[in-house]
Amino acid sequence: MATLVEYTQIELLTLSGPEYRRVSTAPPRPPTEDEIPIIDLSSIDGDIEDRKAIASKIKSAAENTGFFYIKNHGIAEELIQNALSQAKAFFDQPDEKKELVSNRKETFSVRYNPKNDPTISDPESLLTDERYSYGGDDLKWEGTSHLPGFRETTIEFYQRRLALARKMVRIFALALDMPEDYFDGVTTHPGADGLYVHYPGTEDALEDSKTDVDVGIGSHTDIQCVTLLWQDMSGGLQVLSASDEWLDARPIAGTLVVNIGDFLQRLSNNRFKSTVHRVYNRQSTSRYSMPFFLGFNPDSVCQVVPSCVDEAHPALYEPIPCGKVS
Ligand SMILES: O=C(O)CCC(=O)C(=O)O
Ligand SMILES: [Fe+2]
């Protein structure tokens, strides 16, 4: 007997305006191993053949669901746990010390600052270049200076993720049949945000608001190039499959979740999928996550990669600027 699958429509905000997508109304199911594979990065610093082997796995994942886990990613578990402790210390403070955002979800975010990027030899020239408007982060660090080690750990974790994200971008270049340094020039001083996110337990949220709200983030795609996400063991991240069903992107210890953003979908001429996902915290206790979003240099232009265009596949997109250049 055929099972009746029902669908509904969701509205997404994309680079080219609102878009509507069909999604199944069935509860999320576990993904198959191919739908959200676990990819081992232990040989990422090996030779080019090692990286091509990783790239071929990532290519399949990027063309299928657009989400995968990475393990042996090189970021020390101790650093991740220290960052998590700092995130908890930050969110544990009384409300007036924090920035409260909608949906009762709270965030602390660090933007790219050339001073924190060890690959930049002259940060001042970027900071004083009118085209970038990176903005200062001094107020953030002043406002958190009473939390011991907060700044140091937060910056170190940011730096490690920036380095890993740059390596991943090289793998994406290989996965698009381009030389591995193809994107290096547009990731030298990228738009890149590192966040701590706290989703309070649902009971707490209900008590305060007296309404039946979900704590989380509704259906969306990530706008940038690639996202690296650390999530705690709470669960709640759901990912739309290639057949429009919700998959449970369950937490797997020792991994980060990686997904493709709108810019990478665009420059791959839709070969790689910028996948719809959402997060709910429906448990009574807090959920913490630490996403990192890598974009391209704000002064660069995003255009379809030559290897993704041929007579049968003309470029679907015009070149667009990657960031606000003021
Ligand atoms: O918190 C998470 O697990 C994911 C958050 C997310 O999707 C986002 O911030 O774009
Ligand atoms: Fe997201």
- Give tens-digit pLDDT for 29-63: 999 999 999 999 999 999 999 999 999 999 999 99
Residue 322's pLDDT is 86
Among 79-88, 89-98, 119-128, 310-319, the range scoring the smallest mean pLDDT is 89-98
Q: Considering every ligand atom shown, identify the ligand nearest to the alpha carbon of residue 106 and give its number.
A: 1
In this predicted structure, the answer to whether residue 102 has a pLDDT above a threshold of 50 is: no
Inside any domain, residue 7? no
Residues 188, 125 contacting (CB under 8 angstroms): no
Where are the alpha helices (H) located in the chain, listed in sequence order? 48-63, 77-91, 123-127, 138-143, 150-175, 202-209, 262-267
Inside any domain, residue 97? yes
Q: For the chain, what percent of residues have pLDDT higher than 90?
A: 76
Pocket-testing residue among 161, 227, 228, ligand 1, by greatest number of atoms within 8 A of Cβ: 227
User: What CATH number does the domain containing 131 carry?
Assistant: 2.60.120.330
Render pLDDT for 163-185 as a digit per residue (tens, 0 to 9): 999 999 999 999 999 999 999 99
Inside any domain, residue 19? no
Q: Across residues 103-126, what is the average pLDDT?
A: 89
Nearest one of 163, 154, 159 to 187, comparing CA atoms: 163
Banded pLDDT at 204 (limits 50, 70, 90): low
Half-sphere exposure of 21 (CA within 13 A, CB side): 22
Inside any domain, residue 15? no
**How far is ligand 2, taken at its centre, from the CA of residue 247, in Å?**
14
Q: For the chain, what percent of residues have pLDDT higher than 70?
A: 91
* Mutual angle of helices 77-91 and 150-175, in 10-degree steps: 130
Q: Across residues 2-28, what is the average pLDDT?
A: 86
Provide the strand spans (E) within 2-139. Answer: 7-14, 17-24, 38-40, 67-71, 106-110
CA-199 nearest atom, ligand 1: 1
Q: What average pLDDT does the structure give for the chain?
A: 91
In this predicted structure, the answer to whether residue 209 has a pLDDT above a threshold of 80 is: no
Residue bearing the bigger pLDDT, 300 or 15: 300
Inside any domain, residue 248? yes
Residue bearing the bigger pLDDT, 96 or 74: 74
Across-strand partners of 9? 22
Q: Based on C-alpha coordinates, what's the Rg of the chain?
A: 20
Pocket-testing residue among 197, 256, 259, 290, ligand 1, by greatest number of atoms within 8 A of Cβ: 197
**Three-class DSSP category at 230:** strand
Ordered DSSP codes for 159-209: HHHHHHHHHHHHHHHHHTTS-TTTTGGGSSS--EEEEEEEE--HHHHHHHH
**How far is ligand 2, taken at its centre, from the CA of residue 176, in Å?**
23
Residue 206's pLDDT is 53
Ligand 1-lining residues (CB < 6 angstroms)? 197, 217, 222, 229, 231, 237, 277, 279, 289, 291
Q: Considering every ligand atom shown, identify the ligand nearest to the alpha carbon of residue 193 and give its number.
A: 1
Render pLDDT for 260-296 as a digit per residue (tens, 0 to 9): 999 999 999 999 999 999 999 988 899 999 999 999 9
How many domains is the chain partitioned into structurally?
1
Atom 1 (ligand 1) nearest CA: 289
Inside any domain, residue 139? yes
How far are the Cα atoms of 73, 153, 224, 281, 285 from residue 233, in angstroms, in the given order? 18, 21, 25, 11, 11
How far are the Cα atoms of 19, 20, 174, 293 from residue 224, in angstroms, in the given order? 17, 20, 19, 6
Pocket-testing residue among 108, 193, 217, ligand 1, by greatest number of atoms within 8 A of Cβ: 217
Residue 101's pLDDT is 44
Residue 109's pLDDT is 94
CA-289 nearest atom, ligand 1: 1
CA-197 nearest atom, ligand 1: 1
56: DSSP letter: H
Report residues near ion ligand 2: CB below 5 Å: 222
Inside any domain, residue 296? yes
Q: Rounded CA gap, 274 and 226, in Å? A: 9
Q: Rounded CA gap, 171 and 286, in Å? A: 34
Where are the alpha helices (H) located in 176-295, listed in sequence order? 202-209, 262-267
**How far is ligand 1, taken at its centre, from the CA of residue 20, in Å?**
20
In this predicted structure, the answer to whether residue 133 has a pLDDT above a threshold of 60 is: yes
72: DSSP letter: S
Banded pLDDT at 125 (limits 50, 70, 90): confident
Inside any domain, residue 22? no
Q: Across residues 89-105, what is the average pLDDT?
A: 72
Q: Across residues 66-76, what is the average pLDDT?
A: 98
**How far is ligand 2, taken at its centre, from the CA of residue 222, in Å?**
5
Residue 134's pLDDT is 67
pTM: 0.93
In this predicted structure, the answer to whether residue 132 has a pLDDT above a threshold of 80 is: no
Domain assignment of residue 204, given as a range: 28-321
